[in-house]
Chains A and B, each alone.
Chain A
Amino acid sequence: MIEMHWVVIVILLPLTGAVVCFLWPRQTVVSGLITAVGLFASVLGLTWQVLEQGALRYAVGGWGAPLGIDLYVDGLSLLMLIVTAVVGLAISVYSSAYFRLDRAKHFWPLWLFLWAALNALFLSADIFNIYVTLELMGLAAVALVALSGGANALTAAMRYLLVSLLGSLFYLMGVALLYHSYGSVDIAILSQRVESSPAVWVAIGLMVAGLLLKTALFPLHFWLPPAHSSAPAPVSALLSALVVKASFYILLRLWLEVFPLTNTVPGQFALGQFGLAQILGLLGAAAVLWGGIQALRQTRLKLLVAYSTVLQIGYLFLAFPLASIIGWKAALYLLLAHAVAKTAMFMAAGNILFYGGHDRIADLDRVAQRLPLTLSAFGLAGISLMGLPPSGGFIAKWLLLEAAIRSGQWWWGLMLIVGGLLTGAYVFKVIGYAFTRSDLPHEPGFVPKRMEWVALVMALLAIVLGLFAPLPLALLEIGSPFGESLR
C-alpha cells in the first residue's frame, strides 16, 4: 500500500482550496466546502496514521534538518490539528449560509489560507517556520476582521494588525538571538544545545512577550474584545477558538522543549523558569478576574462573549505554575473544550444578531424566545465554559484543580472556582432574559436552519467531551510531549 503523506496534504489542500476559491469566485462556496470536508477527512487520516505509527517526523523534499524543512507531529500537535479541523468544518458550514456572495468571495480564500497557516504552524518542527506561519496566520486574521466593513471594524482591524506585527516581531528577534547563539532553529536540536546565558534569557523574554501579546493574556488583551466583537460571527468564532490558541501552542511547545535548558546546572535555571511560571500564573489569575468582571459589565452580547475569551485564556496560564503532566493535559483539554464551546457561543450570538438586528442583552427576550435551538446552543456552551458537569469544561477544571491540590498550590485552584462562578453569573445573565416575556413588535430577520443547527451541534459536542475524556487524553500521550520536561 502506498504510504499517504497526510502531513503534507493537510497543509497543501487548504492552500490549493484557497487559490481555487480566489480564481473562481462564483463557485467559491462549493469549492470552500469541499476543501473543508476533504481537510477534515485528511486530518482523520493523519490521526489514524499517528495512532498506528506513533509520533512522525517528515522531511519535506527529503532534505531534513538542519538544511531542509522538517514537519513533526506528536500528540500535542495532533490535538491542535483535530481541534482546528472540527472547529474549521463547523465554521465552514456556518459561513456557507452566513455570507452573501459579495462577502463570501473574500471570506473563503482568506479563511482557507488561514487554515493552511494554522496547520503548518502546528506541524512545524523549527522556530523559524513557526514564525513564518504565525505571520501568515496573523495577516489573514486581520483581513478577516476587516471583512465586515464599517469604521469600528476597520479601527479594530488596524489595531489588531499593529499588535499582531509587534508580537511577531518580538518573537522573530528571539528566534534571531537563538539562531545566532546556537546555529540552528530546529526545536529538537535547540532543546539539546540551549544553555543558560544572557542572550538566551533575552531571547526567552522577547519570545514570551510577543506570544503573550498575540495570545491576549491580561494585561495585553486590550486589542481582543474590539477585534473579536466587531468581526462577522464566523470570524469571531475562529479567532477565539483557533487563532489565539495557536500562539499559546507555540509558547507551550517552547516552554516544554526549548526553555528547560537541559545542559545547565540543575537548580540555576529551574529557579528562573519557576519564577516565570509564577508570573504567568499570576497574570492568568488576573485575566480570570478581569475578564469575568468585564464580561459581567457588558451590555452587548458579542462583547460579553469576547471578554469570556479573555477569562478562559487566563485559565490556560494557570497550568504553568503547576508544571505537572495532569496540569498540561488539563490545559489542553480546556483549550479543546473552550474552542468548541466558544465557537458555538459566537455562532449563537451571530444568529441572534442576524435575527434581531442587534445584540443588546437587555432586549434579548424578543429574539431569544423565537430561536430555541440557538438559545439551547448558548446555554449548553455556557455550561461547558462554567465547568459544570457533564462537559468538556468540567473535565478540564477537574484535572486542573486536581493538579493544583496535588502540587500543594491550592490558590490556583481557587481561581478556577472563582472563574467558574463569574462565568455562571454572566451566562445566566443572558439566559435569564430569555425567559421573560415581551411582546414588543419587531421585524425578524430570517436565520437559516443550518446556522442554528451547527451552533447546537458544536455546543452538544462541548457537552459530549465531558463523557469521552479518556480518548483525547490518551491521544495527547503520543510522543510524550510532556514526558521529559517535568521537574
Chain B
Amino acid sequence: MNWDTWLPLLIVLSSLLVALVIFVLPEDRSKTRTTLNLGGAALKIVLVGIMVWGVFNGHHYETRLPLLPGLDLVLRADALSMLFVALSAGLWMLTTVYAVGYLEDSPHRSRFFGFFSLCVTATVGVALAGNLITFLLFYELLTLATYPLIVHRGTEAARKAGRTYLIYTLAGGALLLLATIWLYTLTGTLEFTARGFLSTLDSSHHPVLVIIFVLLITGLGVKAAIFPLHGWLPQAMVAPAPVSALLHAVAVVKAGAFGIIRVVYDVFGIEFSASLGVTLPLAIVAAVTIIYASMRALFQDDLKRRLAFSTVSQVSYIILGIAIVGPMATIGGMVHLVHQGVMKITLFFCAGNLAETLGIHKISEMNGVGRRMPWTMAAFTIGAFGMIGAPPLAGFISKWYLGLGALEAGQDWVIFVLAGSSLLNAGYFLPILYVSWFKEPAGSWPAERCFGRYETALALLAPPVITAILALTLGLLASAPFSPLEWARFITTLEYAP
C-alpha cells in the first residue's frame, strides 16, 4: 500500500472519475464542466510527470488487481508506456482546451465531454497495460468510448460512419480476443516482458505462433488503419474536429500502433519475431500502406479526408520502423509515435479552425486563406512541412532514423519507399500551402463568423500554435534530455539483447 503501487491507477482514475462526474452534470453547468476537465487534465500531467521522473530513476510503478484466477489486471509504468502516456496526457490537455472552445453552446456537451474523458482514460489504460488482457480491456473500452464521439452530430452520415467504425473495430477486437486466449492457453502468462516471453516455447508450437501473430496484428491493424483495414478512418472524419484530432493523433490510431509495438517487442520479442519470419511481411504491408494511402490523399478535395489518408500513411511509418529489425529503425518508429501525434493534431486543429471560423471544408475553397488567418495557416504550414519530413522539423528526425535503420538492417528498398512517400507528401501538402498563401481570396468565405480580437477564438487558436511550436522544438532539440528521441533510444537499449 504505497505510492508506487497506486500511481498508475491514479493516472487512469484522474480522467475516469472526471468522466463519471461529467455524465451526471446538468447540461448548463458549463463552468463546472470546464473546470473539471481542465483540472483532471492538469492533474494527469502532473502525475505523469512524477512517473516519468521516477521511471527514469529506476522506480518501479505497478498496480495489480485480481481479474480472474491466475490473471491480473496490471497497470505498469515501463519506458515504452511512458512514451505513450506522456503523449496522451499532454495532447489531451490541449485538445480539451480546443474542444471547450469548439463546442461552445452546442447541444449534448455533458455527453460529449463524458465520453471524451472516457476515451482518454482508455488510451492511458492502453499505454499503461502491463499484460495483454489489460491491454485488451482498455482497447475495447476505447472502441466503445469513441463511438458516441463519432456519431455525436447525429446526422445520417455520422451514424453511417459510426456503424462502419464499429463493424471494423468490433471484428478486430474479436480476433484480438481469440488470439489472446489462444496465447494464454499455450503459455499460461500474458505479462509484457522486454524481449518477449515466447522464445522459450517448444519449436513445434512455431506454426501456431505465426497464426497467432497474424491474428493479433490483424486485430490491432484495424485501429492502426493498415491497408486494407483502413476503410473506417476516412469515414470517421465526419466527427467534430477535436474528436478527429484526438482520433488521429492520440487515441484510436495510436492505440493500434502501440499495440503492434507491444506485440512485436514485448510479447514475441523482436529477435524471435524475426526468426519466425513474420517481420518482413509486416514491413511490406506497412510500405504498401504508406504508398497507397499517400496516393489516395492526392485526390481528395475535402481537407479532413486528405488529412485522414495522410494519417493512414504516416502511422504505417511506425509499423515500418518496428518491422525493419534493427535498433536505429526501432528508434525511428517509436519516436514517430510521438512526432506524428504532435504534427497531425496541429493539422486537424487548423482544419477545424477553418471550418468553424470561415466554413471552409474543401481545399478548393482555401484560396488566400493565409491572409485571413495567418496564425492558423502558419501552424498548418509547420505541420505540413513536418509531415513531408523537412529539416529541422520533428518529422525529419523520424525519417532520418528510419532511413538509417533500413540501411543498417540491409533493407535498402525501404529508402525508396521513404523517398517516394516524401515526394507524395509534398505532392498533397504543397498545393494546399500554395493556394492558401499565394492565391487571391475569392471574395467572401462560405460561412464566416467573427470572434473579435483574434482571427478566431483564442481557445481554438492557442492549441495549434502551441503544438506547431512543439513540432519545431522536438526537431530542433531532438537530443535534449527527456526528448522523445532520447527516450526512444533508452527503450531501444532495453529491447535488443546486448
A: residues with CB less than 8 A from B are 372, 376, 383, 386, 388-390, 394-395, 397-399, 401-402, 405-406, 413, 417, 420-421, 424, 428, 432, 435-437, 467, 469-470, 473
* Contact assessment for A390 and B69 in the assembled complex, using a CB-CB cutoff below 8 Å: no
Write the nearest CB–CB distance from A419 to chain B, whole angstroms.
10
Binary contact track B148-162/A, C-beta < 8 Å → 1, others 0: 100110111011001
Expressed in whole angstroms, the Cα–Cα distance for A458 and B44 within the complex equals: 31
Which residues on the A side are within 8 Å of B171 (C-beta)? 421
A433's nearest neighbour on chain B, judged by CB, is B159
Which of A386, A420, A435, A470 has a CB less than 8 Å from the CB of B151?
Answer: A435
New A-B pairs, 5, CB < 8 Å, besides A421-B171, A470-B69: A388-B143, A388-B144, A420-B174, A428-B163, A436-B156
If A405-B181, A406-B185, A435-B154 touch, whether A467 touches B67 (CB-CB below 8 Å) is yes
* Contact assessment for B174 and A436 in the assembled complex, using a CB-CB cutoff below 8 Å: no
* Contact assessment for A436 and B177 in the assembled complex, using a CB-CB cutoff below 8 Å: no
If A395-B68, A435-B159 touch, whether A401 touches B141 (CB-CB below 8 Å) is no
B140 at the interface (CB under 8 A from A): yes
B462 at the interface (CB under 8 A from A): no
Which residues on the A side are within 8 Å of B214 (C-beta)? none
* Contact assessment for B170 and A401 in the assembled complex, using a CB-CB cutoff below 8 Å: no
A404's nearest neighbour on chain B, judged by CB, is B181
* Contact assessment for A389 and B184 in the assembled complex, using a CB-CB cutoff below 8 Å: no
B173 at the interface (CB under 8 A from A): yes
Residue among B66, B68, B163 having the largest count of chain A Cβ atoms under 10 Å: B68
Expressed in whole angstroms, the Cα–Cα distance for A275 and B393 within the complex equals: 68
* Contact assessment for B66 and A470 in the assembled complex, using a CB-CB cutoff below 8 Å: yes
Expressed in whole angstroms, the Cα–Cα distance for A257 and B66 within the complex equals: 32
If A435-B154, A470-B68 touch, whether A390 touches B141 (CB-CB below 8 Å) is yes
Which residues on the A side are within 8 Å of B158 (C-beta)? 435
* Contact assessment for A405 and B163 in the assembled complex, using a CB-CB cutoff below 8 Å: no
Which of B140, B154, B163 has a CB less than 8 Å from the CB of A388?
Answer: B140
Expressed in whole angstroms, the Cα–Cα distance for A389 and B140 within the complex equals: 7
Residue among A383, A398, A417, A420 having the largest count of chain B Cβ atoms under 10 Å: A398
Expressed in whole angstroms, the Cα–Cα distance for A217 and B152 within the complex equals: 39
7 A/B residue pairs, CB under 8 Å, sorted by A:
A397-B177, A399-B68, A401-B181, A413-B178, A436-B159, A469-B67, A470-B66
B417 at the interface (CB under 8 A from A): no
Which residues on the A side are within 8 Å of B133 (C-beta)? 398
Expressed in whole angstroms, the Cα–Cα distance for A397 and B68 within the complex equals: 12
Which residues on the A side are within 8 Å of B177 (C-beta)? 397-398, 401, 417
If A389-B137, A432-B159 touch, whether A421 touches B170 (CB-CB below 8 Å) is yes
Which of B66, B68, B143, B154 has a CB less than 8 Å from the CB of A437?
Answer: B154
Q: How many A-B residue pairs have CB under 8 A?
A: 77
Expressed in whole angstroms, the Cα–Cα distance for A168 and B203 within the complex equals: 55
Binary contact track B84-100/A, C-beta < 8 Å → 1, others 0: 00000000000000000
Expressed in whole angstroms, the Cα–Cα distance for A388 and B139 within the complex equals: 10
Write the nearest CB–CB distance from A381 to chain B, whole angstroms.
13
Which residues on the B side are within 8 Å of A376 (C-beta)? 23
If A421-B170, A421-B174, A424-B170 touch, whether A473 touches B69 (CB-CB below 8 Å) is yes
Which residues on the A side are within 8 Å of B170 (C-beta)? 386, 420-421, 424
Which residues on the B side are within 8 Å of A372 (C-beta)? 111
A389's nearest neighbour on chain B, judged by CB, is B137
Which residues on the A side are within 8 Å of B152 (C-beta)? 435
Expressed in whole angstroms, the Cα–Cα distance for A406 and B183 within the complex equals: 11
Expressed in whole angstroms, the Cα–Cα distance for A372 and B73 within the complex equals: 30
* Contact assessment for A389 and B162 in the assembled complex, using a CB-CB cutoff below 8 Å: no
B285 at the interface (CB under 8 A from A): no
If A401-B178, A417-B178 touch, whether A383 touches B185 (CB-CB below 8 Å) is no
- Kindly state the interface size class of chain B when it binds its partner: 35 or more
* Contact assessment for A432 and B185 in the assembled complex, using a CB-CB cutoff below 8 Å: no
* Contact assessment for B154 and A383 in the assembled complex, using a CB-CB cutoff below 8 Å: no
B137's nearest neighbour on chain A, judged by CB, is A389
Which residues on the B side are within 8 Å of A435 (C-beta)? 148, 151-152, 154, 158-159, 162
Write the nearest CB–CB distance from B141 to chain A, whole angstroms.
7
Expressed in whole angstroms, the Cα–Cα distance for A420 and B148 within the complex equals: 20
* Contact assessment for A424 and B156 in the assembled complex, using a CB-CB cutoff below 8 Å: no
B: residues with CB less than 8 A from A are 23, 65-69, 73, 111, 133, 136-137, 140-141, 143-144, 147-148, 151-152, 154-156, 158-159, 162-163, 166, 170-171, 173-174, 177-178, 181-182, 184-185
* Contact assessment for A432 and B181 in the assembled complex, using a CB-CB cutoff below 8 Å: no
Expressed in whole angstroms, the Cα–Cα distance for A397 and B174 within the complex equals: 11
B138's nearest neighbour on chain A, judged by CB, is A389
Write the nearest CB–CB distance from B26 to chain A, whole angstroms.
11
B158's nearest neighbour on chain A, judged by CB, is A435
* Contact assessment for B182 and A405 in the assembled complex, using a CB-CB cutoff below 8 Å: yes
Which residues on the A side are within 8 Å of B143 (C-beta)? 388
Which residues on the B side are within 8 Å of A413 (C-beta)? 178, 181
Expressed in whole angstroms, the Cα–Cα distance for A268 and B216 within the complex equals: 42
Which of B137, B156, B159, B173 has a CB less than 8 Å from the CB of A390?
Answer: B137
Which residues on the A side are within 8 Å of B67 (C-beta)? 395, 467, 469-470
Expressed in whole angstroms, the Cα–Cα distance for A435 and B159 within the complex equals: 8
Which residues on the B side are within 8 Å of A402 (C-beta)? 181, 184-185
Expressed in whole angstroms, the Cα–Cα distance for A354 and B152 within the complex equals: 26
Expressed in whole angstroms, the Cα–Cα distance for A397 and B180 within the complex equals: 13
* Contact assessment for A428 and B166 in the assembled complex, using a CB-CB cutoff below 8 Å: yes
Expressed in whole angstroms, the Cα–Cα distance for A122 and B151 within the complex equals: 46
Write the nearest CB–CB distance from A196 to chain B, whole angstroms.
34
Which of A417, A424, A473 has a CB less than 8 Å from the CB of B166?
Answer: A424
Expressed in whole angstroms, the Cα–Cα distance for A420 and B172 within the complex equals: 12
Write the nearest CB–CB distance from B145 to chain A, whole angstroms.
11
Which residues on the B side are within 8 Å of A473 (C-beta)? 68-69
Which residues on the B side are within 8 Å of A421 (C-beta)? 170-171, 174
B152's nearest neighbour on chain A, judged by CB, is A435
Expressed in whole angstroms, the Cα–Cα distance for A388 and B151 within the complex equals: 20
A429's nearest neighbour on chain B, judged by CB, is B163
Which of A405, A428, A467 has a CB less than 8 Å from the CB of B185?
Answer: A405
Write the nearest CB–CB distance from A387 to chain B, whole angstroms.
8
Expressed in whole angstroms, the Cα–Cα distance for A432 and B147 within the complex equals: 9
A470's nearest neighbour on chain B, judged by CB, is B66
Expressed in whole angstroms, the Cα–Cα distance for A390 and B185 within the complex equals: 21
B167's nearest neighbour on chain A, judged by CB, is A425
Which residues on the A side are within 8 Å of B73 (C-beta)? 467
Expressed in whole angstroms, the Cα–Cα distance for A398 and B141 within the complex equals: 16
Expressed in whole angstroms, the Cα–Cα distance for A399 and B143 within the complex equals: 22
Write the nearest CB–CB distance from B126 to chain A, whole angstroms.
12
Expressed in whole angstroms, the Cα–Cα distance for A437 and B181 within the complex equals: 40
Q: Which 7 A-B pairs have the closest CB atoms?
A: A389-B137, A435-B151, A437-B154, A401-B181, A405-B185, A417-B174, A424-B170
* Contact assessment for B151 and A432 in the assembled complex, using a CB-CB cutoff below 8 Å: yes
Write the nearest CB–CB distance from B78 to chain A, whole angstroms.
22
Expressed in whole angstroms, the Cα–Cα distance for A399 and B69 within the complex equals: 10
Expressed in whole angstroms, the Cα–Cα distance for A389 and B173 within the complex equals: 11
